[in-house]
Amino acid sequence: MTELERLQKRIAKAGIASRRKAEQMIINGRVKVNGKIVVKLGSKVNEKDTISVDDQDISGEKFEYYLLNKPSGYVSSNKSYPDQPSVTELIKTESRIFPVGRLDMDTTGVLLLTNDGDLTQKLTHPKHRIKRTYEAWVKGIVQNTELDQLTKPIRFDNEIYFPQAAKILKTDLNRAETFMEITIAEGKNHEIKKILEFIDHPVIKLNRNMFAGITLGELKSGQYRPLSDQEVKRIKR
């Protein structure tokens, strides 16, 4: 028996839009199944059905997965803004890819991009506790007592954060700065910057050097590569 799934889920899996936005596309008459417009939410399709959005066939959409060493000055979005280039512009592909989660415009390092909507949701939802490691230059000399706070729950700015680990890599006494590494597992908005602000050491520069077990290796700033089959299997697990 051919397995059925909701139409909006199929659209989301193809990386066209989130399920909520896919529902709106259906309501607006932008989706066809086997050549006929479908506007009823909850409609189900199987793998043999031909689905199109804005008359573009998405049935045979092939998933692509990329690792980018995000440079500063790019927004983590699939949309372009005036004077704010998007990270998607750095990757040459005909597919409609989007970043897996977000890095601030001035944050650099590991960023995954794909057109696999289901995987993106799994990797970014806090409940799955996907680990991310950052290198941060911060103002001031971080003390061990302050470092201990970064392994306990932190309540700051009406939010609770759960940092996993932190260590000091280097201190610059002349500049009164500390270079440190921090691991988190939720990826809330501006999480690293907020927990470091909590201990009174604002971020000067931030780089993500690991996400879901994927590291940059030899990739230079602005460079990218497709993920290997083994890497894709690993992050899907």
Backbone angles phi, psi at 3, to 5 degrees: -75, 135
CATH number of 131-211: 3.30.70.1560
What homologous superfamily does CATH list for 5-57?
Answer: RNA-binding S4 domain (3.10.290.10)
What are 173-180's contacts with CB under 8 Å, separation 24+?
173/141, 176/139, 176/140, 176/141, 177/137, 177/138, 177/139, 177/140, 177/141, 177/204, 178/137, 178/138, 178/140, 178/141, 178/142, 179/135, 179/136, 179/137, 180/135, 180/136, 180/138, 180/142, 180/147
Q: Do domains 5-57 and 65-126+214-236 have the same CATH topology?
A: no
Q: What are phi and psi of 87, to 5 degrees?
A: -60, -25
Cα(27)–Cα(8) distance, integer angstroms = 11
pLDDT in tens, 142-178: 999 999 999 899 999 889 999 999 999 999 999 999 9
Radius of gyration of the chain (CA): 21
User: How far apart are the C-alpha atoms of 102 and 75, rounded to whole Å?
Assistant: 8
Average pLDDT taken over every residue of the chain: 91
Residue 147 is predicted with a pLDDT of 92
Q: Does domain 65-126+214-236 fall into CATH 3.30.70.580?
A: yes
Distance (Å, whole) CA 11 – CA 67: 23
Query: Which pLDDT tens digit goes with each residue over 5-40?
Result: 899 988 887 767 778 889 999 999 999 999 999 999
pLDDT surpasses 60 at 201: yes
pLDDT beyond 60 at 1: no
CA 22 to chain centre: 19
Pairing state between β 203-211 and 108-114:
parallel
- Domain-wise residue ranges, the chain: 5-57, 65-126+214-236, 131-211
Of all residues in the chain, the percent with pLDDT exceeding 70 is 97
Query: For the residues 50-65, what does the mean pLDDT come to?
Result: 85
pLDDT of the residue at 13: 76
Q: Which residues are catalytic?
A: 104
For 102-140, how does the pLDDT look when each residue is reduced to its tens digit (9 = 90+)?
999 999 999 999 988 889 988 998 889 999 999 999 999
Q: How many residues does the chain have?
A: 237
